[in-house]
Amino acid sequence: MVNSSTMTINPEHVDAYNLRGWYDDRGADQAWQPQSNSLGTSGGSFNRAEIRSLKDVKDSQLGMSDKPEYFSARASIMHIKTDNISYPACPNAGCNKKVIQLNDEWRCEKCDKSFENPEHRYASI
């Protein structure tokens, strides 16, 4: 995800229901397969023997040349901030503005509208 991305947990959408049904039925047991990136080129296959630490990647200055360079890495989330993991946002499509609560409504200053409930968005670090 990038800074402008938004994530919705269990969205109410037919494709999301279908995907969740597949995952619960058999997808959770599937083997992971590497995918192509959005430019349509593949970074190659995933080779566990070639896993590099991020320190090694940085020290080797991978990605600093003009040509693409690929590597495999494994990472674990060590800490998730719980104090501000999400923020109440405007539910209008394309608006990520934080809303403020006024009495029983949530107000978006950018859209100049009030809503019964906000849509919680995950804050990026």
d(CA 24, CA 17): 10
For residue 115, what pLDDT band results from cuts at 50, 70 and 90? very high
Residues 69 and 55 in one domain: yes
66 domain residue, yes or no: yes
Average confidence score pLDDT of the chain: 80
63 domain residue, yes or no: yes
For residue 36, what pLDDT band results from cuts at 50, 70 and 90? low
d(CA 58, CA 54): 6
- At 103, which CATH number? 2.20.25.10
Contact 88, 99 (CB under 8 A): yes
C-alpha dist (Å) from residue 118 to 50, 54, 89, 95, 100 = 45, 37, 5, 12, 9
Lowest mean per-residue pLDDT among 20-29, 35-44, 94-103, 109-118: 35-44
- Split into its structural domains, the chain has a count of 2
Statement: residue 40 has pLDDT above 50: no
CA 16 to chain centre: 15
User: What's the mean pLDDT in 100-111?
Assistant: 93
